[in-house]
């Protein structure tokens, strides 16, 4: 995994801060909408395109 990939992912904390939602909801959305994710040194990172696509869809 390259350095750019590692910095491109969003953590649950990042998502909760930007979209003002509880972390529990993030895990539910990640499962329901099958967000791509990877783990690095114990932290889970979600693919930004999956995250934004979900919240764009829910905002409509």
Got the DSSP string for the chain?
A: --HHHHHH-B-HHHHHHHHT--HHHHHHHHHHTT--EEEETTEEEE-HHHHHHHHHHHH-
Mean pLDDT of all residues in the chain?
90
Residue span of the structural domain in which 39 resides: 8-59
Mean pLDDT, rounded, for 2-18: 81
Tell me if 43 is assigned to some domain.
yes
Supply the pLDDT for residue 26. Answer: 97
Tell me if 2 is assigned to some domain.
no
Supply the pLDDT for residue 60. Answer: 86
pTM for the full model?
Answer: 0.83
Supply the pLDDT for residue 6. Answer: 53
Tell me if 18 is assigned to some domain.
yes
Q: How many domains does the chain have?
A: 1
Tell me if 36 is assigned to some domain.
yes
Tell me if 1 is assigned to some domain.
no
Spatial separation of the C-alpha atoms in residues 6 and 60, rounded to whole Å: 30
Tell me if 27 is assigned to some domain.
yes
């Amino acid at each position: 995994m390259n350095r750019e990939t590692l910095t491109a992912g969003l953590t649950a904390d990042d998502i909760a801060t930007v979209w003002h939602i509880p972390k529990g909801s993030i895990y539910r959305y990640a499962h329901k909408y099958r967000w791509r994710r990877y783990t690095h040194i114990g932290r889970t990172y979600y693919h930004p395109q999956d995250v934004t696509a979900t919240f764009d869809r829910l905002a409509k």
